[in-house]
Amino acid sequence: MKLINKPIRLIAGFNPDGKVTPTSFIYGSRHYRVTRVQDSWSYHSWEHGNIQHFKLQVMSNSGQEMLCEASFLQDKIRWVLVKYNFW
């Protein structure tokens, strides 16, 4: 997987228990739809506070599929695309 750590625009739903469910995101000029959340976990970072991390299976608007990992940095209220792998 390619490590990138780039901010992205991500659309997500917030569940009543406070967890986030990503549904789609925009990276560069491409729009990706989340087809499956493979795994998710949260942890605490001294630098960024609570972080929610997701392993996602997504499909681009051009039909290209990829696996990626994204994190939600709660103190900065932003999403970061951590790494991705096209297949």
Number of domains in the chain: 1
Q: Quick check: 58 and 32 in contact, CB under 8 A?
A: yes
The percent of residues above 90 in pLDDT, for the chain, comes to 13
Q: What pTM value is reported for the model?
A: 0.74
Domain containing 77 equals 2-86
Is 70 exceeded by the pLDDT of residue 74?
Answer: no
Residue 19 per-residue DSSP state: -
